Amino acid sequence: MEIAVDAETARAVRRLAILRKETLEQAISGAIREALARTEPTVPDRPLTAAQQATIAQILAQVKALPPLDGAGDDPTAFLYDQNGLPH
């Protein structure tokens, strides 16, 4: 299978292969496998039990009921600065 790539991508593949001490094919397939492992959603081995789902729902309800941090509204870092924007 032949895939056309631009010159910049070809240079990057060669550089990766040199750094990893691999062939071009090994570098490409390794990079793709690593990207897929980071990107694909993880699927639990088994579904959550009703008790686990209830526990999660309870925790989420408790978190949602918490007040905002120091009345900061949408900015969780507001307490770090005074009215002039200077650090406390």
CB atoms within 10 A of CB 22: 15
Residue 34 has a pLDDT of 96
What is the Cα–Cα distance from 88 to 82, expressed in whole angstroms?
A: 6
> Residue 27, class by beta-carbon neighbours within 10 Å (0-12 exposed, 13-18 middle, 19+ buried)?
buried
Give the residue carrying structure tokens 């910049």.
8
Q: What confidence score (pLDDT) does residue 3 get?
A: 86
Chain segment 28-84, per-residue pLDDT in tens: 999 999 999 999 888 778 889 999 999 999 999 999 998 766 655 677 787 888 888
Return the pLDDT at 69: 65
